[in-house]
Structure 1
């Protein structure tokens, strides 16, 4: 009996850390996608950026289509797949506008108002009961974001409102992914994302098409592969973690984006970024410790 308890506890700990590993890969992929998208948008329209991201994803998915096809043709939760990807495509469009027009750290910071929506949709749709530790992690992460961006000191931008709308869409999308993982593997969720969003992107791109050059190819690959990897890793993480645990960890994307923005685009960075990151990290570590005990 005691050995069984120890085995279950060890399995739970392993699942937690594996989930966190997938979250780390997801964060790196999202940042890579943002760099590729910004570089592409220097020559192409934002609608083309969304289309080419999905097109690159199609080539990657094609390599695994033989193994994924038996599950894809079952079309499990297809209506939910359509809803999730329509919401996600719209959110991506607004988010990409923010990536092009605003500093990366500001975009990711505004995006992380998303946990408020995740908590709401997780309660309304998944019936997840938010524990005190998780709520404190969300609040601590949000406080860290406020320390980084210091509202009223230069972050005001017309694109900010679009990023906030995107955050709400991403929050709903993530909760729907959690729901989809009950009947679909992460690979099939990502495959449906490409199969649904590719035609949506093509229709949108044709309304604002610009010449494509060979120099755009590396950025297409980075943006497309980053998008595919980010969502696959996020789906894997959400199979092992509650949405309200995974999202506070994802707050670490903000200081990472600030560093990338400084190194690649000479965007201003100061001590407040690291102060906010410390608050985010401390909040997440406390939540993870409480989660392990629970």
Structure 2
């Protein structure tokens, strides 16, 4: 590949990552509006079910159904269940709380992954990983300010979402090389759709025609955002794209301020800076350790 093509792919990958961040934050924003009239479980069900239909249709358009078969059904099912936990917790948090604050707390997950990778994957946990966890959790506490504000419970639900997302990332790493990316992406939404069909059925409320259209749109935005990320990471190195994933925090903050009149106060900005800074710092230290010559 020529240098010109490599640079073009790099810029396209970065643009796709930023676009995906705004698309996914937009999906969460629309979901928050929709949860004013529909149960949370029903909105999350649409997020998974219509995502599944769209991804399945795209993958099967050439008649190749190999993505349906998995060699690790239990691991795929557990991974899908953790993502259900992420989305249910996050949407329960943003139903009554701030979208920007909940999103910032969920971004603590990548820092947690570095610690969970030790007992669950056998990877070495270094001292800077623990320091990053401490800094990131300090950022969470600055945002939540337990006991000093309303909607504490909503923000603690965002903490549950962060832990669930960290488990999801670890299980994703476990599946690397065991199943194809298409198989993993398909089964993530398949397992979630089955589980959420049961949960949503317990509190089902008949949507209007307009609400059905929005429910389909939520699933389409979810699928579109994830497909953009898959494309981005195909074109550019993960280490290059990782900082641009934080664009979702920027998007969530903009949407919160514009659509919900949320005030982005100093504690939110300081806590977000600690969480993002911890993630970027540990990523940089890991890259330096990886490229350091062995003694």
Q: TM-score by structure 2 length?
A: 0.76
| CA apart distance, 1:291 | 5.3
What residue number does 1:52 align with? 46
| CA apart distance, 1:50 | 1.8
Show the 5 A alignment for 1:226-245: 226-232=221-227, 241=238
Alpha-carbon distance between aligned partners in 1 of 2:109 and 2:274, rounded to the nearest angstrom:
18
User: SS of 2:189's equivalent?
Assistant: helix
Give CA-to-partner distance per residue, 1:109-152, whole Å, 9 cap, x none: 33244345422322222333345665555554444444444444
Alpha-carbon distance between aligned partners in 1 of 2:284 and 2:157, rounded to the nearest angstrom:
35
Contact 1:249 1:284 in 2 (8 A): no
Residue 72, structure 1, aligned to residue 54, structure 2: no
Q: Which runs of 5+ in 1 are unaligned?
A: 1-6
| CA apart distance, 1:287 | 5.0
Contact 1:40 1:49 in 2 (8 A): yes
Contact 1:141 1:251 in 2 (8 A): no
Residue 103, structure 1, aligned to residue 91, structure 2: no
Alpha-carbon distance between aligned partners in 1 of 2:28 and 2:202, rounded to the nearest angstrom:
23
1:264 to 248, 252, 259: 259
What residue number does 1:28 align with? 22
Residue 198, structure 1, aligned to residue 198, structure 2: no
Q: TM-score by structure 1 length?
A: 0.76
What residue number does 1:160 align with? 155
| CA apart distance, 1:189 | 1.7
Alpha-carbon distance between aligned partners in 1 of 2:36 and 2:16, rounded to the nearest angstrom:
31
What residue number does 1:216 align with? 211
Residue 188, structure 1, aligned to residue 170, structure 2: no
Distance 1:203 1:129, change over 3 A: same
| CA apart distance, 1:275 | 4.0
Show the 5 A alignment for 1:88-127: 88-115=83-110, 117-127=112-122
Distance 1:24 1:53, change over 3 A: same
| CA apart distance, 1:265 | 0.7
Alpha-carbon distance between aligned partners in 1 of 2:284 and 2:129, rounded to the nearest angstrom:
11
Contact 2:108 2:136 in 1 (8 A): no
Contact 2:257 2:264 in 1 (8 A): yes
| CA apart distance, 1:216 | 1.6
- The RMSD of aligned alpha carbons is 3.8
Moved more, 213-222 or 29-38: 213-222
Moved more, 44-53 or 209-218: 209-218
Distance 1:41 1:290, change over 3 A: same
Contact 2:111 2:282 in 1 (8 A): no
Alpha-carbon distance between aligned partners in 2 of 1:103 and 1:70, rounded to the nearest angstrom:
41
| CA apart distance, 1:89 | 1.5
| CA apart distance, 1:212 | 0.9
What residue number does 1:3 align with? none
